[in-house]
Amino acid sequence: MIIAANLKTNLTREKTNKYISEVESFLREKNISEEVLVFPATSSLIAHSGAVTIGAQNAYPTIKGAFTGEIGYEQLEEFGIKTILIGHSERRHVIGETQEELVKKFDFYKELGFKIVYCVGEPLEVREAGFENMMEYISKQYEGIDTSYENLIIAYEPVWAIGTGLTPTSEDIVAIHGELKKKSLAPLLYGGSVKVTNAKEVLALEGIDGVLVGSAALYAEHFCTMCEYAQSLNK
Ligand code: PGA
């Protein structure tokens, strides 16, 4: 399974280093062989080799150039980063990235062979408009995306469940994942208020290949426990 931590705009470089070494020692100690990804803030990216794969939360589709405030491939290459998160709800809805921009980013990093965690998910008003409308909305987030890309991982994250403590019911998650599995054979993660208290249940659901965790992953200990749950499920 794939267990991913999105640290967002949290933790300093020093704290991130500590976090990664804690997770790394835990995985070694417990002999955990699941795929573990950690996405630190851009200023905390580090060159790291071990069981934990470090990924970028964002980067501009450029090798280098005049894109104030952004980083490009050259800045990722310095740290050997070959994994990127694209389409996260906060990039779409807070920063305002359009599907067109995300497709450009996707294609650029795909060409470079990056592992891409591509996020999709609906806001509350769309969810309330019924299953069909919701699936139509999510389908649009697949437009222009090469769903057969070999290094693709998809994360389904309902916007209303991110950082709110709310989660869809298990039945809902299974139903949506079932639909999304028809669109791509890529591993499919669930994200949105995954915590130590519900991770085991979520990970065990049919059609779930892992989780993408935000707030609860900020505690290395909690994140490690989720990695251990994934291992124990032996999926
Ligand atoms: P959350 O965030 O776990 O805090 O809901 C998940 C995410 O944004 O990927």
Does ligand 1 come within 6 angstroms of the Cβ of 6? Answer: yes
Q: How many CB atoms lie within 10 A of CB 70?
A: 14
Pairing of the two strands 188-191 and 210-213: parallel
AA identity, residue 22? E
Confidence bin at 9 (pLDDT 50/70/90)? very high
Question: In the predicted model, what is the mean pLDDT of residues 3-14?
Answer: 98
Question: In the predicted model, what is the mean pLDDT of residues 56-62?
Answer: 98
* pLDDT for the residue 235: 82
Ligand 1 atom at shortest distance from the alpha carbon of 217: 3
Ligand 1 atom at shortest distance from the alpha carbon of 89: 8
Is the CB of residue 194 less than 8 Å from the CB of residue 168? no
Ligand 1 atom at shortest distance from the alpha carbon of 161: 5
Q: Residue 60 above 90 pLDDT?
A: yes
Write the pLDDT tens digit of every residue in 136-150. 999 999 999 999 999
Is the CB of residue 2 less than 8 Å from the CB of residue 33? no
Instruction: Give Cβ neighbours of residue 20 (< 8 Å, ≥ 6 apart).
Output: 38, 40, 46, 48, 52, 54
Backbone φ, ψ for residue 37 (5° rounding): -115, 140
Q: Catalytic site residues?
A: 88, 157
Residues paired with residue 114 on neighbouring β-strands, in sequence order: none
Question: In the predicted model, what is the mean pLDDT of residues 46-55?
Answer: 96
Structural domains of the chain ordered from first start: 2-233 (3.20.20.70)
| CA of residue 191 to ligand 1 center, whole Å | 6
Confidence bin at 129 (pLDDT 50/70/90)? very high
User: Ligand 1 pocket: which of 2, 3, 6, 95 to mutate (most atoms <8 Å of CB)?
Assistant: 6
Confidence bin at 86 (pLDDT 50/70/90)? very high
Does ligand 1 come within 6 angstroms of the Cβ of 35? Answer: no
- Tell me the CA distances in angstroms from 22 to 42, 51, 186, one per residue in order: 20, 12, 29
* pLDDT for the residue 234: 84
Is the CB of residue 152 less than 8 Å from the CB of residue 118? yes
Nearest to 226 by CA among 177, 190, 180, 172: 190
How far is residue 39's CA from residue 50's CA, in Å, rounded to a whole number? 15
Write the pLDDT tens digit of every residue in 172-222. 999 999 999 999 999 999 999 999 999 999 999 999 999 999 999 999 999
Does ligand 1 come within 6 angstroms of the Cβ of 120? Answer: no
